[in-house]
Structure 1
């Protein structure tokens, strides 16, 4: 059975948990989605029992620091292992075209030539287009532009080995253009910046995010059967699961998950 390994659950301002990123794992081929804001991703992968030498597939949603910069550390580690002969095969990162150019540029500015020499040879950064169908690791996937008015951002839907549908909305609420892709998902992965009662304090709408209330209402409208909420504030981290679950239950009747960092969710 596939698993969702939660590496981080926090938004860009979170200090008590890692930034939101995760692994989809079928027991053979882990797929990394986003990588957080720094080299903490290496620690989170180690704690989750994921050897970087086993990681060959990744996806980046957008260029914000809490999603992008951990990937530079992943690329650095993998290139180092390639140079020492400790990494077999290739590594493929998928993302939209502008972001692919940015990853290459940042890598060439921050990594030595002894590492970037593997780019295009064994490290492949492949751009995806809106609506494009391609593989994401072992899974058939469809990638889509979420229509962000901030930085350009892509989400995806994919099919698990048994045909069930998993949809990732990135870190913004579902827009009308997304619905054609993510409606009727078995698993919907969604941001929920804060509780509705805390909206004046955290101002999610100003940041193009939503509260638990809106995220759960949208998931119900979309016909999702399982909903994962993350990319949250962390002011009451110990109580977050109980508080978010209580609010979410008022608007979503399916299976609701509010994970902590390093939780593993069977899919």
Structure 2
């Protein structure tokens, strides 16, 4: 699992900062999370094979999280994409995109599917044999969701030396990796734990942006490995949070602490601040393992 931050600043794009977008690569799947203006330029700049993106998750319909989507969808058409593209996001996103395609007479040459969300309860929006993605209902000025990405547990790892020592034929290997014990020809039962190793623990990643301090997210993201949480303001501007429905670095750290997260990544910074390290220092007064997002920054999770 790894994460590339394409943009992590609030409101408008600037010369050296980009609005929210990030790519999560997990179990050989590439997911795009939010798509602010300039996302496709950032994808090219950081040499990400964005043709591998089949699912896009949009948190809400404010421009700094979605205005890059129509451009990316159009570029996929110009590149003769054939693979289906699924867009998950708030109700209204289908109308927003299809109207632009209609007026520009730029219909896609590939299947474009919209999964429009309107529930205030957490729900599974994507699942296959490797990954499950669920919504994290947030509290913002308009309807918004974060997303929780969870790996599914891998099969057990075969202890090749052990199975060869017992003379077990290869046709039984998949059964053993699935957790079954093995009965030898002489009737002896070999416990699975003697024939396999534990797989790596499955990892999880939670994306929470934009939201006011909102404790109902805590049980949804409990024990998450990595939490990305918006931190638009420092504590000195906490008075702006209720009006704008955003969070301070200290409040984000409190969510991480109460959720027992292993790591916190801060993002969605207001550009009024000259040093992002101030966010890290403030958050670390509450929660120790804090990192700072930045445009183009890569995290090996």
TM superposition score category, shorter chain reference = 0.7 to 0.9
Match of residue 103 from structure 1:
97
Secondary structure, counterpart of 1:18 in structure 2: coil
Aligned-residue offset at 1:195: 1.5
Aligned-residue offset at 1:104: 2.7
Q: How do 1:62-81 residues align onto structure 2 when only pairs under 5 Å count? A: 62-81=60-79
Aligned-residue offset at 1:117: 4.5
After TM superposition, the score normalised by the length of structure 1 is 0.84
Listed one character per residue, the Cα deviations across residues 112-160 of structure 1 (whole Å, up to 9, x for unaligned) are 2xx3254xx5122222453321326862111243243x21111221213
Q: How do 1:161-176 residues align onto structure 2 when only pairs under 5 Å count? A: 162-176=201-215
What is the root-mean-square deviation of aligned Cα atoms in Å? 2.3
Listed one character per residue, the Cα deviations across residues 33-64 of structure 1 (whole Å, up to 9, x for unaligned) are 1111x2x2121111121133232221111110
Listed one character per residue, the Cα deviations across residues 170-210 of structure 1 (whole Å, up to 9, x for unaligned) are 2113524323312221111110012112446xx33320011
Match of residue 29 from structure 2:
29
| 1:256 aligns with one of 287, 290, 294 | 290
Alpha-carbon contact 2:139-2:211 (below 8 Å) kept: no
Q: Is 2:151 the counterpart of 1:160?
A: yes
Alpha-carbon contact 2:88-2:125 (below 8 Å) kept: no
Alpha-carbon contact 1:35-1:68 (below 8 Å) kept: yes
Aligned-residue offset at 1:22: 0.4
Secondary structure, counterpart of 2:3 in structure 1: strand
Q: Number of aligned residue pairs: give it.
A: 249
Q: How do 1:104-253 residues align onto structure 2 when only pairs under 5 Å count? A: 104-109=98-103, 111-112=104-105, 115-118=106-109, 122-128=111-117, 130=119, 131-135=122-126, 139-148=131-140, 150-160=141-151, 162-199=201-238, 203-237=240-274, 239-240=275-276, 242-253=277-288
Listed one character per residue, the Cα deviations across residues 6-57 of structure 1 (whole Å, up to 9, x for unaligned) are 0011001452410021000137332111111x2x212111112113323222
Q: 1:96 to 1:198 in 2, by over 3 A?
A: closer
Aligned equivalents of 1:13, 1:128: Cα separation in 2: 25
Q: 1:198 to 1:96 in 2, by over 3 A?
A: closer
Aligned equivalents of 1:248, 1:147: Cα separation in 2: 21
Secondary structure, counterpart of 1:50 in structure 2: coil
Secondary structure, counterpart of 1:22 in structure 2: strand
Q: Report runs of 4+ in structure 1 exceeding 3 Å deviation.
A: none
Match of residue 265 from structure 1:
299
Aligned-residue offset at 1:243: 1.5
Q: Please, which runs of 5 or more residues in structure 2 have no aligned partner?
A: 153-200
After TM superposition, the score normalised by the length of structure 2 is 0.75
Alpha-carbon contact 1:156-1:167 (below 8 Å) kept: yes
Task: Flag the structure with higher helix content.
Answer: 1
Q: Is 2:43 the counterpart of 1:6?
A: no
Q: Please, which runs of 5 or more residues in structure 1 have no aligned partner?
A: none
Match of residue 164 from structure 2:
none
> Which entry has the higher C-alpha Rg, 1 or 2?
2
